[in-house]
Amino acid sequence: MSFAVTVDLVMLTVRADALCVLLVRRAIPPFEGSYALPGGFVLDTEDLTDAAIRELSEETGLQQPATHLEQLATYGSPGRDPRARVVTVAYLALLPEAPDPTAGSDAAEAAWLPVESLPPLAFDHAAILRDGVERARAKLEYSPLAAAFCPPEFTIAELRQVYEAVWNAKLDPRNFHRKATSTPGFVVPTGHSTAGDRGRPAQLFTRGPATVLYPPLLRASPPTSS
C-alpha cells in the first residue's frame, strides 16, 4: 500500500511547422538508451503541480517558462515500472519555440523530436505522449491555448501555423484570419506590426482574456464513426 509518485512532462512546442516533444535519453536501466519523457519524483512536502514546475526548469535547462501547464492524467499500472510500484502524474506543458536544450541538463541528452515518427519510448511513455498530443489537439478547438505556443506578440499567421502544425492540416488563411480576429477575447491587437519579412507587414497581437473560444474553432469533421 505504499507507492512511489513521480511527475512526467509532456512538453510540446512547434518547431519548423511540426509539433515536437521534449524527450530525454535514459542513462540508466531500465530502458537504458531509450528516449523517455522528462520527469522525476515528487518530494515529500511538495505539491504535485510544484513538482511539475520544478521538473520543467530543472530537468531541462530551459529559460523559457511554459506558457501553459496543466495536469494531463495519472498512470499507475502495476507493471509499468519493472523496479517498483510507481504512480506517475503526467503534466502537459506548452511552450513557445525554444532553442535546443543542451548544457546544464540533468539527463544525459534532451532533444525536441517531432511527434510523428518517434523512436520507441521507455515505460508507458508512448501512451502518455499520445494522450497529451490528443489533449492539445482537442483543446485548440475550444480554448485560446494555441497562443501558448506563440511568443508574447504574434501575428495571425503564426497562430494559424500553430493550428496547422498541431492538427497537421491546412487552414485557409483568410477564413482563419476572420475567425481569430472576430472571436471575442481570443487575440488583442497591440498596434505594432512586423517588418522586414516577405510580403505585407502583419499586425501583432497578444493573448486575449478569453478562457474559452465561443463559438469554437472546430477541426474538419472527425472520421465518420458509422
Give the interface with DNA as residue ranges (CB under 7 A): 155-157, 172-175, 177-179, 181-182, 193, 195-203, 215, 217-218, 220
Find the shortest distance in angstroms from Cβ 36 to its own copies.
19
Annotated active-site residue in 58, 59, 97, 109 = 109
Nearer to its own copies, 78 or 199 (CB): 78
Binding span for its own copies by CB under 8 A among 28-36, 60-68, 84-92, 166-174: 84-92
* Angle, vertex CA 119, rays to CA 63 and CA 160, nearest 5: 55
Taking the C-alpha atoms of residue 5 and residue 89, their distance in angstroms, rounded to an integer, is: 7
The yes or no reply on residue 134 touching its own copies (CB under 8 A) is no
155: partner contacted, choices its own copies, DNA, none (Cβ within 5-8 A by kind): DNA
Report the partner that residue 63 touches, choosing among DNA, its own copies, none (CB closer than 5 to 8 A by kind). Answer: none
Select 108 or 212, whichever has its Cβ closest to its own copies.
212
177 makes contact with its own copies (CB under 8 A): no
Which of 45, 63, 117, 182 is in the footprint of its own copies by CB under 8 A?
Answer: 45
Sequence-distant contacts of 42-51: CB under 8 A, at least 24 apart = 42/5, 42/6, 42/7, 42/89, 48/5, 48/7, 48/89, 49/91, 51/7
Residue 16 binds which entry of its own copies, DNA, none, CB below 5-8 Å type-dependent: none
Residue 69 in grid coordinates = 501547464
- Annotation says 58 is catalytic: no
In the three-class reduction of DSSP (H, G, I as helix; E, B as strand; rest coil), residue 122 is classed as: coil
Q: Are 123 and 31 in contact (CB under 8 A)?
A: yes
First-to-last CA distance in the chain?
A: 44
- For 78, counting Cβ atoms within 10 Å of its Cβ (0-12 exposed, 13-18 middle, 19+ buried), the class is exposed
Interface residues toward its own copies, by CB under 8 A = 1-5, 41-48, 71, 73-78, 85, 87, 89, 142, 184-185, 209-212, 214-216, 218, 221-222, 224-226
